[in-house]
Structure formats: C-alpha cells, structure tokens
Amino acid sequence: MKILVTGGAGFIGSHVNKLLLDQNHQVTVVDNLSHGSKDNLDSRVNFIQEDLNDQPKLEEILPGHDAVIHMASLIEVGESVKNPVGFVENNILGTIKLLEAMRKSNVKKIIFSSSACVYGTPLKTPITEADSLQQQENPYGLTKVSMEQLCILYHKLYNFDVTILRYFNPYGPGEQHIPETHAIPNFIKSVLAKKPIPLFWKGEQVRDFIYIKDLANAHILPLTQSGLHIYNVGTENGTKVIDVINKIFEIVGYKVEIDDKGERKGDVQTLVASSRKIKNDLGWEAKVGLEEGLKETIDFFNR
Ligand SMILES: NC(=O)c1ccc[n+]([C@@H]2O[C@H](COP(=O)([O-])OP(=O)(O)OC[C@H]3O[C@@H](n4cnc5c(N)ncnc54)[C@H](O)[C@@H]3O)[C@@H](O)[C@H]2O)c1
C-alpha cells in the first residue's frame, strides 16, 4: 500500500515507518520538523517537509495514497497548559484540514494516534474503550478527544475507514523529545550520567508501559480494516514508576540517588489499559516484557 504518515519524523513515526517499509509498503512522511528530525527518517521514506495547516499542499500530496497514519501533533502536556491556543490550532485545525484534504483527494482510510490522555482521570482500572472521556485534565487531552471526534465524524459523513489507537505509555530506543518529559528516557539518562533521578509522588504512580516495537506493530492490521474501530494499545500490566527505576538499577548494576520532587499537580495515579478489544479483533498483543524493553532502551542511550 501507499501510506502517508503525518508526524513521521518523530519518535513513534520513525518506528512505524521502518516496519511499513520492511513489509514493502511505500511511505510518504509529511512533517513540519517542529519537533521531529530528519535523522529519524529511514532512507527509503519519501519525505516532504510540510505543515498540516497548509491544506492546499496536502491536496497536492495526498492523491494516489491508500491510507493515512496521522501522528502529527504537539504532545507535551505541560506546554499545552501554557499554550492552549497553539495546541488547538496545531492539533485540531491541523486534523480537520487533513481530513478535508483526504476527502477531496478520495483517500478515505485513516489510523489516528490517540492517547490514554483522553480518559483524563479514569473512573476505574483497567480502562476500557467504552469508559468516559468527560474528565479532561489538560488541553492536550482535550485536543486528542476533538481529533478523535473529527475522525469519527468523517466516518459518519463520508464513510471513511477510521481506526483510533489510544496509546498508553510508549517507550523505547529513539525517544528524544525536546523537552523530554517522559519518565523512562529521563530516568535512563540520569542513571547513565550518574546523576540523581528526579521523581514525583515517590514513584507510586502506576503506568502501562508499552514497548515501541509492540506499539508500531499495532498499526499494521488496521490498514486492512474497514469501518470505525477504537482500541486501547497497552500491555494490560500496571507497573509502579519506582519499580521501573529499580529495574533500571538492576540492569546497569548500580544505583544513583533519588531527587524527591514531591507531588505534581495534574498527575493521574493509575493508568492501565484493557487491550482485550484489539486482541479479540486483530489478534494484537504486547510481546516485549519490561525488562527486555528497558535493556534495548538502555543500549540505545548508551550508544
Ligand atoms: N510519545 C508518547 O508517549 C505518546 C503517548 C500517546 C500518544 N502519542 C501520540 O503519538 C503521536 C506521535 O508521538 P511522538 O512521541 O512520536 O511525538 P513526536 O513529537 O516525536 O512526533 C510528532 C511529530 O509531529 C510533527 N508535527 C507536529 N505538528 C505538526 C504539524 N502541524 N504539521 C506537520 N508535522 C507536525 C513534529 O514535528 C514531530 O515530528 C502523537 O500524535 C502523540 O500525541 C504519543
């Protein structure tokens, strides 16, 4: 298939591109490089530096593609609180312009990168896809809910095939966001530099850490699905943040100090997915355990 990946110069996109190319798909990446990097791009990718908000350009690029994997987004929660207008313009307006350009180009299949953030403060654990999206905590989560709704609307109005993937906590080689606010890369970088690890809530929060290669795999089967589908993509295992740190210490064979940062407003205590639905529908499930995933991630940062 000929697939257009928006935001494909970012962390997750770079892994998805490689997987698609290895399976003989053709990949066009549209990315404005506001956060990603050309260094993340496989040499086989057809790269176009472009912003989603340039709808006429998208209408030139899209014809002839079979599907879009829509990953382009501003993603940093704290930044979204400081700059809600920028997040709405980039994420929501960017998405409606992409969908319109797709409609006009007759490209009617989209796989959308959503997030566990849409559940805000979840009312129960594990979280299923039917759970409430009413408890929004920040503009980033709200833009993701809106982006999902726009995709769903284009399914209803124009019969688009839509698969929404709600990622839980991805981690793995290549994760180098600027700024980096995610736990695992920051912990590993501190440990390798033998510096104290900044830690909130004494590491008692529970997260569902999903290894990047498992996550990338979840994008393949939806390419041949029709209709509307919404899936959580997680391991179904909750891990305390402090246990991740202890596992990293075990792998490297030494410990560093913990820099106790106390509590942080807006953090959710527990986020664990039920991924039954994607397993039942597509046979996808996470295969890489935390120890193996951490080892590969530590190797990456060591290199
Ligand atoms: N990394 C995570 O922990 C996580 C968790 C849940 C969901 N997601 C979602 O997965 C997707 C990819 O995340 P990532 O970690 O790879 O982020 P990333 O920042 O590494 O990649 C996003 C890419 O989108 C590009 N981009 C942003 N706005 C754009 C625009 N208007 N036009 C063109 N390109 C634009 C950026 O330059 C960047 O390369 C995002 O949609 C994100 O919301 C990520």
Q: Does domain 172-208+237-302 have CATH number 3.90.25.10?
A: yes
Residue 225 CB-half CA count within 13 A:
21
Contact 57, 4 (CB under 8 A): no
CA dist., res. 200 & res. 167, Å (int): 22
pLDDT at 185 (0 to 100): 96
Query: What's the mean pLDDT in 32-46?
Result: 97
Q: What is the pLDDT of residues 237-287, one digit of tens each?
A: 999 999 999 999 999 999 999 999 999 877 889 999 999 999 999 999 999
Asked if pLDDT for residue 155 goes beyond 80, the answer is yes
CA dist., res. 228 & res. 162, Å (int): 5
For the chain, domain boundaries: 2-170+210-233, 172-208+237-302
Q: What is the pLDDT of residues 196-220, one digit of tens each?
A: 999 999 999 999 999 999 999 999 9
Give catalytic status of residue 119 as yes or no.
no
Which pLDDT band, with edges at 50, 70 and 90, does 62 fall under? Answer: very high
Q: What is the pTM of this model?
A: 0.97
In a mutational test of the pocket of ligand 1, which residue from 73, 145, 146 has the highest number of ligand atoms less than 8 Å from its CB?
73
Counted residue by residue, the chain has a size of 303
pLDDT at 244 (0 to 100): 98
Output the six-digit token pair for 282. Answer: 């597509």
pLDDT at 181 (0 to 100): 85
Q: Three-state DSSP class for 11?
A: helix
Alpha helices in 110-257 (DSSP H): 139-158, 183-192, 212-217, 241-252
- Taking phi over 0 as left and psi of -120 to 50 as alpha, with beta for the rest, 257 belongs to beta
Q: Three-state DSSP class for 232?
A: strand
Alpha helices in 83-133 (DSSP H): 84-87, 94-105
pLDDT at 105 (0 to 100): 98
Task: Give yes or no for residue 170 CB within 6 A of ligand 1.
Answer: yes
pLDDT at 229 (0 to 100): 98
CA dist., res. 237 & res. 202, Å (int): 20
CATH code of the domain made up of 2-170+210-233 = 3.40.50.720
Of 29, 142, 129, nearest in space to 92 by CA: 142
Which amino acid is residue 68, in one-letter code?
V
Q: Is 199 exposed, middle or buried (0-12, 13-18, 19+ CB in 10 A)?
A: buried
Q: Whose CA is nearest to atom 26 of ligand 1?
A: 72
